[in-house]
C-alpha cells in the first residue's frame, strides 16, 4: 500500500518535471547560466559575460505596473516583484484585510488586520523586509537620539535573494511568492487561546499547493494582492459551523496592500485624556516629563480650501460609498445618518466634510479596494457584530488613510445576534469579537437587543407597522452614526448617557430632534417613555454635544496651543463628560465610576433601571398573547422572553455598580468647573441601589414570570439540534445567572477593597454595614419560614460566595476586613437557619446551609 502510493508520488513528480521544464523559460535560462562557467572558462573571461536584461527575466510574465511593479508568470502563476533603487531604504505602509473568512477562525469579510510600517533594505545579494518600531520618539536635537535604536528589536519579516539586478537603472527583481503566499507580513491563523478546549475548531496547516494569488492590482500609490490561503488538516475533531464547507480544507481570502506613505506635511495631533480618540502610542525617550507622551490621535487630513474662512469646504472631503449590495429601502436612512456628522464638522470649521455616494451597480472596483471608503452590507452566517467600523492609519502620524464600515443584515432581523440567552453559544454559535486598536465594538448586538425590546413594547401597546418601522430606522441611524464615529477616530464614550434626566427623556417636545445622550459613541438603553402619549425618540437620530466637541478638538485647524487649550477647557461641561471602555464597568469588579456604564440611560441610572425593570415585568405578562400566532411555533415568543430577561438583568447590573462606586473627574488641576478627581458615591445613592437590588433582583418574588407562560417557552425543533442539550426552559438557571452576575460585582475583591479605602476619602457606606445589608436582602424575608425555589438557589449561592471569601485559594484575593465581614455574616446566617421552620423543602435547604457554613468554618485558617 505504502509502496504503491510512493510510486505514484514519484511518477507524479517525474511527470510534473517533464512537462514543466521545457515550457518554463525562466527556469531554462537560469539553468543555462548556471552551467555556463562550467562549459566555458578562458574565452568567456576575455569577453564580457552577456548581460541579462529585465525583459529576459520577465519574459512570459504579465506586468502589473504601479507603486510596486509585479510580474506574474502566465504559465505557472509565479510572481516576481520589481524594486526600484530609490525604493530601497524607504518606509512603506503595509495593511491587510480579510476578503472572506469564517468566523470560526476569527476572520470575516472586511475585518482589518495588520497595519504597520516596513522598510526594504539591502543586505549583500538579498533584500530584507523590516518592520519598523513606531513606539518611540527621540528629539533629533538631543544627543541621546544617536542611541535611538538601543534595545529596540526590529522585525525582519522576510529576506529574499536578488534574482536580477540592472546595473544601469539599479532595479532589482525578487521572487514574490514567499512574501505573499505565506504569513510573512502578518498572522492569519490565530494562535490557540490559553486553556482553549482541544475540541474547539482549529485551522490546519497552511497548504502551499492550494494557497494561491487571486488577483494583483497595482496603482500609483498602492499595490494590492488578493490571496486565498488554504489550511488543511488530515482529520478534524470539530468541523466548525455550517459556514465551513469542509473542516479539512478551509479558505481565507486576504487582501494585502503595500501603500506609499503620504509626504504631505500632515500635522499630528496629540491625545488628551479628556477626549476619546483612537491613538498610536508614542513615548518621548528624550523627555524628562512625568508624562512623556506623544500619542498621536487617529484622524483624517482635513484642510480648508480657504484657510481664512471661518467655514470652508475641505480640500479633500471624507467620501463614503454605499456598497451596491445595500437594500434600496435603507439607503436614504444610511446616507442621512452619515451626513449628520457634518453638523459636528461645521463647528470645526468645515462645510461638507463628509460626503456620501452610492456605488454604481456596474462599478469596476470592489469594496476591498482601499482607495474607496465603503459602507458595506452583508448577510453572513454567525456574524460577530451588527456593525464594525475600522480604519487604517499611518502609525508615524496617526493620519487615517482609509476606512470601511461593515454592516450585517442580521441587525435588521429578529434573529438574535448572540444566542446566549439559553447557554448555547459555545455549542452552536462561535462568538468572535473584533479588536481594533484596543477597541472591541459590539454596539450592533447591543442595539439589536434594544430594538427587539422596543418591538415587544410597541407590540404590547398595539402600535402600527409605521411606528414599528420608524423605531427600527432610528436604531439603524444610531448604529450608522456610531460606526462612522469610529471611522473618524472616535472611541467609545460610555459616560455620555448621563446627558438628560428621565423626565426630559420622557418629554416628546423637549427631546424632539435631540440626541438622547452626549454622544452616539455610547451603548445606551432604549428610551421608553412611561406615558405612551409623551413618547419621543427611541434612539438618537443625530450626533450629541460631546461628538460635536470631540470633532472640534480633533479637526479644528488651530494656530497655536492657546486655541487648543480653549477647546479643551470646555471638558468640564456636563454635556461633554467622557469615559471610555477602559473606564466602563460592564464587567464585575472592573473600573470604578458607575456613570461609565453600558445599557444605561439618563442622569438617574438607578431610577431609569427601575423603570426598565418595571416595563419588562409588565411586558412579560402580555407576551404570551402578543407573540402567539395561529399556525406558527413559539420560537418568536421564546426570543421575546429572552430579550425581556436580558434587559431585566442588564438593569440590575447598572444599579449594582453604585455600591462602592467612585466618581472620576479627569479635568486638569485648576480648570474651571473641575472637581476633585475622586468622589465616592453618596451613602444615599448606595443605599438606594441596595434597596432596588433587594426588591428587583433578590426578593422572593423578584422575577414575576407567569407560570403559565413557561409552558409555552418552546423553541421550534430543527433537525437534531436538541441533541446539544435538553430543550426544556431552564428558568431557575436563568434567574440564578442574572443574580450571580450582580453578586459577582457586589462581592468582588476590587469592590470590597475600594469600600474600605474610600472610607478614608468620603465613602459613608461602611463595609461591615454593607455586607450585613446584603445578607439581610438575601435572607431576612423568608428564612424563618418557607423559602421558595428561587431563593433557595440564591441563598446557597451566596453562602458559597462567603465561603469562598474565607477559605480556599480564592480567599487570598480579599482583604482582611472583607474576610471578617464574610465570617460575621456566615455566623449571622447560621443563627437564622438553626431554628429551622417551614415546609420539608425549606427545612432540607436550611440543613444544607448549616452544613455548608460549618464546613467553611473548619476550613478557615
The DSSP code for 756 is H
Please count the CA atoms within 13 angstroms of the CA of 87 that sit on its side-chain side.
Answer: 25
Q: Please, what is the minimum distance in Å from the beta carbon of residue 471 to Zn ion? A: 21
List the end-to-end C-alpha distance of the chain, in Å, as a whole number: 66
Q: Which is nearer to Zn ion, 250 or 598 (CB)?
A: 598
Nearest to 392 by CA among 474, 314, 300: 300
Strand-pairing partners, residue 232, are 205, 249
Which is closer to Zn ion, CB of 437 or CB of 542? 437
Nearer to Zn ion, 441 or 752 (CB): 441
Q: For the CB of residue 406, give the shortest distance to Zn ion in the complex, in Å.
A: 12
User: In whole angstroms, how close is the CB of 385 to Zn ion at the nearest point?
Assistant: 9
Q: Are 769 and 686 in contact (CB under 8 A)?
A: no
State which residue, 26 or 443, has the beta carbon closest to Zn ion.
443
Cβ nearer to Zn ion, comparing 441 with 833: 441
Cell of 571: 471638558
d(CA 378, CA 373): 16
Q: Which of 15, 70, 67 minimizes the C-alpha distance to 258?
A: 67
Nearer to Zn ion, 391 or 556 (CB): 391
- What the block records as the C-alpha cell of 606 is 438607578
Q: Is 590 exposed, middle or buried (0-12, 13-18, 19+ CB in 10 A)?
A: middle
Q: Which secondary structure element, helix H or strand E, spans residue 717, and what is its range?
A: none
| 682 Ramachandran zone, left/alpha/beta (phi>0; psi -120 to 50) | beta
Minimum distance from CB of 650 to Zn ion (Å)?
A: 17
Distance CA 347, CA 337 (A): 18
Total residues interacting with Zn ion, rule: CB under 5 A: 2
Alpha helices, H only, 588-697: 605-626, 635-656, 683-693
Can you read off the three cell numbers belonging to residue 475? 436604531
Site string for Zn ion, 421-450 (x = CB under 5 A): --------------------x-x-------
In the complex, the smallest distance separating the C-beta of residue 174 from Zn ion, rounded to whole angstroms, is 41
- Minimum distance of Zn ion from residue 437's CB (angstroms): 12
Rounded Cα distance between 554 and 272, Å, is 10
Q: Please identify, using beta-carbon distances, which residue of 443 and 528 lies nearer to Zn ion.
A: 443
Residue 190 CB, nearest distance to Zn ion (Å)?
A: 22
Complex with Zn ion: residue 482 or 791, whichever CB lies closer: 482
What angle do helix axes 789-806 and 816-834 make, rounded to 10 degrees?
140
How is residue 717 written as a grid cell?
425543533
* DSSP bridge partners of 440: 435
Scan residues 499-538 and list those touching Zn ion (CB under 5 A): none
Spatial CA neighbour of 393 closest among 297, 460, 484, 473: 297
The β-bridge relationship of strands 155-165 and 126-131 is antiparallel
Asked if residue 100 lies in contact with residue 111, where contact means CB atoms within 8 angstroms, the answer is no
- Name which of 176 and 441 has its Cβ closer to Zn ion: 441
Separation between Cα atoms, residue 249 and residue 631, nearest integer Å:
42
Bridging pattern class, strands 662-664 and 678-680: antiparallel
Q: For residue 147, with 0-12 CB atoms within 10 Å meaning exposed, 13-18 middle and 19 or more buried, which class applies?
A: exposed
CB nearer to Zn ion: pick between 489 and 536: 489
405 binds Zn ion (CB under 5 A): no
Distances (CA, A) of 454 to 470, 508, 543, 653: 11, 16, 21, 20
Kind of pairing, strands 373-378 and 400-408? parallel
Smaller CB separation from Zn ion, 544 or 652: 544
Residue numbers 371-390 binding Zn ion by CB under 5 A: none
CA 98, CA 378: separation in Å to the nearest integer? 14
CB of 276 to Zn ion, least distance (A): 11
Evaluate whether 114 touches 186 at the Cβ level (below 8 Å).
yes
Integer Cα distance of 841 and 704 in angstroms: 21
Site for Zn ion in 109-168 (CB under 5 A): none
Nearest distance from C-beta of residue 520 to Zn ion, angstroms: 9
Cell of 738: 442574572
* Phi, psi (rounded to 5 degrees) for 690: -60, -45
Helix (H) or strand (E) holding 808: none
Cβ distance to Zn ion smaller for residue 443 or 849: 443
Backbone angles phi, psi at 13, to 5 degrees: -65, -45
Instruction: Give the nearer residue to Zn ion in terms of CB position, either 441 or 515.
Output: 441
Give the nearer residue to Zn ion in terms of CB position, either 68 or 377: 377
Using the minimum distance from each CB to Zn ion, give the nearer residue, 441 or 506: 441
- Residue closer to Zn ion (CB basis): 385 or 658: 385
The span from the CA of 59 to the CA of 48, in Å, is 23
Task: Tell me which residue has its CB nearest to Zn ion.
Answer: 441
Give the cell for residue 164: 536580477
d(CA 61, CA 74): 5
Please identify, using beta-carbon distances, which residue of 79 and 484 lies nearer to Zn ion: 484
Q: Answer yes or no: are the C-beta atoms of 387 and 411 closer than 8 Å.
A: yes
Q: Which residues contact 497 (CB under 8 A, 6 or more apart)?
A: 516, 517, 518, 522, 524, 525, 597, 600, 601, 602, 605
> Which residue, 443 or 826, has its beta carbon nearer to Zn ion?
443
- Binding stretches for Zn ion (CB under 5 A): 441, 443
Amino acid at each position: 500500500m505504502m509502496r504503491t502510493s510512493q510510486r505514484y508520488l514519484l511518477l507524479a513528480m517525474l511527470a510534473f518535471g517533464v512537462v514543466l521544464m521545457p515550457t518554463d523559460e525562466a527556469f531554462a535560462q537560469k539553468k543555462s547560466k548556471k552551467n555556463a562557467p562550467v562549459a566555458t572558462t578562458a574565452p568567456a573571461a576575455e569577453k564580457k559575460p552577456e548581460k541579462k536584461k529585465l525583459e529576459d527575466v520577465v519574459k512570459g510574465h504579465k506586468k502589473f505596473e504601479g507603486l510596486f511593479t509585479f510580474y506574474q508568470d502566465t504559465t505557472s502563476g509565479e510572481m516576481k516583484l520589481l524594486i526600484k533603487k530609490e525604493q530601497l531604504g524607504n518606509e512603506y505602509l503595509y495593511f491587510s484585510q480579510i476578503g472572506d473568512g469564517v468566523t470560526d477562525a476569527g476572520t470575516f469579510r472586511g475585518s482589518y488586520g495588520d497595519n504597520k510600517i516596513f522598510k526594504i533594505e539591502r543586505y549583500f545579494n538579498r533584500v530584507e523586509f523590516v518592520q519598523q518600531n513606531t513606539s518611540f520618539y527621540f528629539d533629533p536635537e538631543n544627543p541621546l537620539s544617536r542611541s535611538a535604536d538601543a534595545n529596540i528589536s526590529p522585525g525582519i519579516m522576510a529576506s529574499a535573494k536578488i534574482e536580477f539586478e540592472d546595473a544601469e537603472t539599479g532595479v532589482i527583481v525578487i521572487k514574490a511568492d514567499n512574501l505573499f503566499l505565506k504569513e510573512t507580513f502578518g498572522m492569519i491563523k490565530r494562535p490557540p487561546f490559553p486553556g482553549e478546549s482541544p475540541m474547539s475548531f482549529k485551522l490546519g496547516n497552511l497548504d502551499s499547493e492550494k494557497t494561491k494569488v487571486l488577483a494583483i492590482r497595482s496603482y500609483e500609490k498602492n499595490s494590492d494582492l488578493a490571496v486565498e490561503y488554504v489550511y488543511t488538516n488530515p482529520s478534524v475533531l470539530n468541523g466548525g459551523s455550517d459556514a465551513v464547507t469542509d473542516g479539512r480544507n478551509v479558505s481565507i481570502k486576504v487582501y494585502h496592500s503595500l501603500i506609499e506613505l503620504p509626504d504631505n506635511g500632515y500635522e499630528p495631533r496629540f491625545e488628551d485624556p479628556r477626549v476619546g480618540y483612537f491613538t498610536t502610542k508614542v513615548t518621548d525617550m528624550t523627555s524628562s516629563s512625568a508624562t512623556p507622551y506623544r500619542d498621536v490621535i487617529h484622524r483624517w487630513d482635513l484642510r480648508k480650501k480657504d484657510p481664512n474662512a471661518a467655514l470652508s469646504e475641505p480640500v479633500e472631503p471624507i467620501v463614503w460609498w454605499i456598497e451596491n449590495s445595500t437594500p434600496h429601502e435603507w439607503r436614504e436612512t444610511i446616507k442621512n445618518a452619515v451626513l449628520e456628522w457634518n453638523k459636528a464638522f461645521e463647528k470645526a470649521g468645515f462645510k461638507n466634510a463628509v460626503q456620501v455616494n452610492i456605488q454604481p451597480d456596474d462599478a469596476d472596483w470592489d469594496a476591498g479596494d482601499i482607495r474607496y471608503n465603503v459602507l458595506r452590507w452583508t448577510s453572513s452566517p454567525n456574524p460577530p457584530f451588527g456593525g464594525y467600523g475600522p480604519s487604517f492609519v499611518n502609525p508615524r502620524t496617526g493620519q487615517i488613510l482609509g476606512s470601511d464600515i461593515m454592516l450585517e443584515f442580521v441587525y435588521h432581523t429578529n434573529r438574535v445576534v448572540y444566542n446566549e440567552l439559553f447557554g448555547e453559544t459555545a455549542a452552536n454559535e462561535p462568538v468572535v469579537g473584533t479588536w481594533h486598536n484596543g477597541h472591541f465594538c459590539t454596539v450592533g448586538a447591543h442595539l439589536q437587543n434594544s430594538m427587539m425590546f422596543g418591538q415587544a413594547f410597541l407590540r404590547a401597546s398595539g402600535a402600527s407597522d409605521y411606528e414599528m418601522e420608524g423605531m427600527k430606522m432610528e436604531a439603524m441611524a444610531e448604529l450608522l452614526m456610531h460606526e462612522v464615529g469610529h471611522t473618524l477616530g472616535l472611541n467609545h464614550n460610555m459616560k455620555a448617557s448621563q446627558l438628560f434626566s428621565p423626565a426630559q427623556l420622557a418629554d416628546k417636545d423637549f427631546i424632539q430632534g435631540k440626541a438622547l445622550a452626549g454622544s452616539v459613541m455610547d451603548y445606551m438603553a432604549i428610551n421608553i417613555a412611561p406615558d405612551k402619549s409623551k413618547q419621543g425618540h427611541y434612539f438618537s437620530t443625530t450626533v450629541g454635544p460631546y461628538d460635536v466637541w470631540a470633532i472640534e478638538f480633533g479637526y479644528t485647524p488651530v494656530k497655536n496651543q492657546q486655541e487648543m487649550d480653549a477647546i479643551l477647557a470646555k471638558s468640564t461641561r456636563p454635556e461633554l463628560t467622557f469615559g471610555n471602555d477602559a473606564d466602563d464597568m460592564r464587567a464585575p469588579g472592573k473600573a470604578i465610576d458607575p456613570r461609565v456604564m453600558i445599557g444605561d440611560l439618563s442622569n438617574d441610572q438607578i431610577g431609569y433601571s427601575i423603570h426598565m425593570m418595571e416595563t419588562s415585568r409588565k411586558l412579560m405578562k402580555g407576551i404570551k398573547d402578543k407573540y402567539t400566532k395561529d399556525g406558527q411555533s413559539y420560537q418568536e415568543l421564546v426570543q421575546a422572553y429572552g430579550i425581556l430577561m436580558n434587559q431585566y438583568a442588564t438593569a440590575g447590573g447598572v444599579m449594582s455598580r453604585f455600591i462602592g462606586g467612585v466618581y472620576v473627574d479627569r479635568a486638569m488641576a485648576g480648570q474651571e468647573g473641575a472637581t476633585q478627581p475622586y468622589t465616592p458615591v453618596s451613602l444615599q445613592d448606595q443605599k438606594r441601589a441596595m434597596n432596588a437590588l433587594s426588591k428587583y433582583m433578590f426578593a422572593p418574588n423578584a422575577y414575576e414570570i407567569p407560570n403559565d407562560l413557561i409552558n409555552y417557552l418552546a423553541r421550534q425543533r430543527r433537525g437534531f439540534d436538541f441533541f446539544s442539550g435538553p430543550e426544556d426552559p431552564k428558568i431557575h438557571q436563568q434567574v440564578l445567572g442574572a443574580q450571580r452576575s450582580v453578586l459577582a460585582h457586589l462581592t468582588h475583591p476590587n469592590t470590597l477593597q475600594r469600600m474600605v479605602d474610600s472610607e478614608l476619602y468620603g465613602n459613608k457606606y461602611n463595609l461591615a454595614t454593607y455586607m450585613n445589608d446584603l445578607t439581610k436582602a438575601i435572607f431576612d424575608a423568608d428564612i424563618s419560614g418557607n423559602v421558595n425555589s428561587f431563593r433557595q438557589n440564591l441563598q446557597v449561592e451566596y453562602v458559597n460566595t462567603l465561603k469562598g471569601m474565607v477559605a480556599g485559594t480564592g480567599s487570598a484575593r480579599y482583604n482582611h476586613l472583607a474576610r471578617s465581614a464574610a465570617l460575621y455574616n456566615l455566623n449571622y446566617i447560621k443563627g437564622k437557619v438553626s431554628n429551622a421552620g417551614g415546609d420539608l423543602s425549606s427545612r432540607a435547604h436550611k440543613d444544607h446551609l448549616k452544613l455548608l457554613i460549618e464546613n467553611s468554618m473548619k476550613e478557615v485558617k
